[in-house]
Every structure is written in structure tokens, then in C-alpha cells.
Amino acid sequence: MKNIAVLGATGLVGEEVIKILEQRNFPLKELLLFASERSEGQIISFKDRELEVLTDCNELVGQAEIVFGCLDSPLAKEIVPKFAEQSVVIDNSNAFRMDPEVPLIIPEINSEKVNEHKGIIANPNCSTIQMLVALYPLHKKAKVKRIFVATYQSVSGAGKNALDELRYEFEYLSMGHDIEKAEDAVFNHPIGNNIIPQIGDFHDQGYTSEEIKMLNETRKIFDDESIQVSSTCVRIPVYVGHSEALSVEFENSISPAEAIEILQEAPGVKVFDKDEIYPMPIKAVGKDAVLVGRIRKDLAFENGLAMWIVADNVRKGAALNAVQIAELLL
């Protein structure tokens, strides 16, 4: 039995981590919670206990063997190293993912790397997790060569304020008003009744940080620098659940029937193999599995498949993957 700490306990991912720890009956002695000063005095229920959220993280340093980092990257860079000296931190931010000394883990793929840490284990990006959980079993069979992916990502990926923004804009639209971007808005443009083809800041060659993550993280997790990934990441007016349209070229031949058979046996995957029945975000909310459907031969590649992938981005795309890593540590 170990002490467990959650940094960022009142955010979407932190709250989901706490919920999953309870649902999976994670063996812990004490649960310690930290959040910013905005959460001062807040109480969170866990099992039969009422836990106070602390707002001074220094009080928790060295008090827990496993720490879940659910902070944004700037704060994670500052706080996580303090804990990593005496604890194992499973960090959900982008701060340490590409550090060569930090393992980047999806338990269904590279669980053997869990003990290679030096105090920090990185949780991959939500869009990368769901894509690779579905692709890895096929990669073992036919070896992925190129991936072309368009993501349709829910606003929950941008946090609680983004959810509030979408609710407000939907309400405003329902009254017949036009939406104007507020000065403190989460997104650069209105998201209600709209889609925004930008997630993250723009970098070289016109790609955003989210799109670059999908390339770099895929190569690191698959341990293959030759894999090519071209992505377009889009924010859509959906509360929870990311969707992805994939076109994948393999080095070796693989048929849709073979892919379906492989994925039906794959851990963490649920297959929809009927034309009229396919995954949708509304079916993914609260589910542990990555949902895969519309598996078909890609008409652009000789050794290619096209498919549609959906998952709960807050759950498997963040919190559940982190808890599964903690279970490996035990």
C-alpha cells in the first residue's frame, strides 16, 4: 500500500484520475491532493472519505511514492522535478515527453519500459494514445510505414474553461445571437457551431504543436524514427470524445478482414465491423476502450488501410492511461 498524490486535482484530468483510482480499487494508503489557490478550501470525496485540497505543493513533496501530474506544461516544468527526486511522477503534460531519459508509455504497447524511469514517466498526448492503441497490433503484423490522420478533437481537451465556453456559446446561439470572441476566450475563434483547424501554436512548415506531437510521440513509442506521420488536428464543438480518420500505409500486405480479426483480440480495443454501425464520441464517453470502425482497404496505397478511431480523451486519452502506468509500477 502506497501513498498517492494528485497534482492538479480539481482539473478535468485530475478529477478523472481520482474517480478511476476509486473505480479500479487502486491499493493506496493515503490520497493527497494539490491544486492552485483558486481551489483553496475545496473538498473532494474519495470512497468514504472527504479530502481537503492543499494549495501549497511543498507540503506534499516526499509524502507519496507515486504522483500523478495533471498540470499544464509551464507549471509541470516547475513542480514535477521537485517530486521526482523522492517519488515516481506520472506526468500528463507535454513538458517531459520527448526527454530521452523519460519513458513515454502506453501500457498496451511498451509496458516493459516502465522501470526505465529516473523519477518521471510521461503520459502521451490524448490523440496519440488512441491512435497507437489501435495501430500497434497491426504494426506488429504488417509494420506501419506512413500515417495520414485528421483528428476531430472535443473541447474538453482544452480544459474546464473550454467546456464552459462551449456551453455559453451554445446558449447564446440558441437565443439567436451571433458569437463574438471574448478577450479571455480559450480559443482564437468561436467554437459553438464552428470548427477550428488549429490546436496549439504554429511551428515550422505550417504545422501546429499538436500535429508535431503526433509525429514525434509515435516515433518514440514505436521506437522507429522512419515512420512518417502527416496530421491535421481540428477542434470541434463536442464536449468529450476525440475522433480520428486514418489512412495508413504498411510495409507488408494486410487485408481489412485480417485487421478486424487482429483488433478483436487486441487489448484496450473494441471493434465495430458493420458498415452501418461505427464509433462516435457519444458512444465513447466514460468507456475505457478505444473504439475502431470503418476498417477498409485504402484506395491510395497498395498496402493500405483506412479506419475511424474514437475514444474518451479525458479517460483513456489521459487519466486511465496514467492509472494503468501506476498499476504497472505496483
CATH of the domain at 229: 3.30.360.10
User: Do 100 and 239 fall into the same domain?
Assistant: no
Which amino acids are annotated catalytic?
A: 126, 242
User: Do 234 and 257 fall into the same domain?
Assistant: yes
Is the model's pLDDT at 263 over the cut of 90? yes
- Here the CATH number for the domain that contains residue 112 is 3.40.50.720
Give the Å distances, CA to CA, from 315 to 267, 271, 286, 320: 16, 18, 7, 5
Over residues 58-77, the pLDDT tens digits come to 999 999 999 999 999 999 99
Per-residue pLDDT, averaged over 303-326, amounts to 98
Is the model's pLDDT at 178 over the cut of 90? no
Q: Supply the range of the domain harboring residue 45.
A: 2-124+319-329
- pLDDT above 70 covers a percentage of the chain that reads 100
Longest dimension (CA), the chain: 60
User: Do 182 and 297 fall into the same domain?
Assistant: yes
User: Do 120 and 141 fall into the same domain?
Assistant: no
Q: What is the pLDDT of residue 40?
A: 82
Q: 478529477: which residue's cell?
A: 15
Is the model's pLDDT at 144 over the cut of 90? yes
Q: What is the pLDDT of residue 275?
A: 85
- Phi/psi at 53 (5° precision): -85, 120
User: Do 20 and 162 fall into the same domain?
Assistant: no
User: Do 142 and 15 fall into the same domain?
Assistant: no
CA distance 227 to 154: 27
Long-range contacts of 204-207 (CB under 8 A, 24+ apart): 207/231
User: Do 188 and 275 fall into the same domain?
Assistant: yes
Burial of 126 (0-12, 13-18, 19+ CB in 10 A): buried
Q: Which of 258, 277, 278 is nearest to 137 (CA)?
A: 258
Is the model's pLDDT at 1 over the cut of 80? no
Q: Which of 242, 284, 260, 32 is nearest to 127 (CA)?
A: 242
Q: 454501425: which residue's cell?
A: 277
CA distance 313 to 242: 6
Q: Which helix (H) or strand (E) holds 232?
A: strand 228-235
The number of beta carbons lying within 10 Å of the beta carbon of residue 184 is: 7
Is the model's pLDDT at 134 over the cut of 80? yes
Retrieve residue 302's grid coordinates: 497498395
Is the model's pLDDT at 38 over the cut of 90? no
User: Do 242 and 105 fall into the same domain?
Assistant: no
For the four alpha carbons of 62, 36, 185 and 168, in that order, the dihedral sign comes to positive
Q: What is the pLDDT of residue 204?
A: 82
Q: Are 264 and 271 in contact (CB under 8 A)?
A: yes
The number of beta carbons lying within 10 Å of the beta carbon of residue 298 is: 18
Query: Any idea what DSSP says for residue 104?
Result: B
Beta strands in 83-193 (DSSP E): 88-91, 120-122, 144-153
User: Do 80 and 144 fall into the same domain?
Assistant: no
Average pLDDT over the chain, rounded to an integer: 96
Is the model's pLDDT at 183 over the cut of 90? no
Q: What is the pLDDT of residue 6?
A: 98
Domain count, the chain: 2
Is the model's pLDDT at 95 over the cut of 90? yes
Confidence band, pLDDT 50/70/90 cuts, at residue 181: confident
Q: What is the pLDDT of residue 319?
A: 98
Q: Are 35 and 55 in contact (CB under 8 A)?
A: yes
User: Do 72 and 172 fall into the same domain?
Assistant: no
Q: Which of 66, 55, 244 is nearest to 80 (CA)?
A: 66
User: Do 307 and 323 fall into the same domain?
Assistant: no
Over residues 221-233, the pLDDT tens digits come to 999 999 999 999 9
The number of beta carbons lying within 10 Å of the beta carbon of residue 243 is: 24
User: Do 91 and 141 fall into the same domain?
Assistant: no
Give the list of residues 6+ apart from residue 102 with CB closer than 8 angstroms, or none.
96, 117, 118, 120, 121, 122
Per-residue pLDDT, averaged over 261-269, amounts to 98
Q: Quote the Cα angle for 100-18-21, to 5°.
A: 85
Per-residue pLDDT, averaged over 209-214, amounts to 98
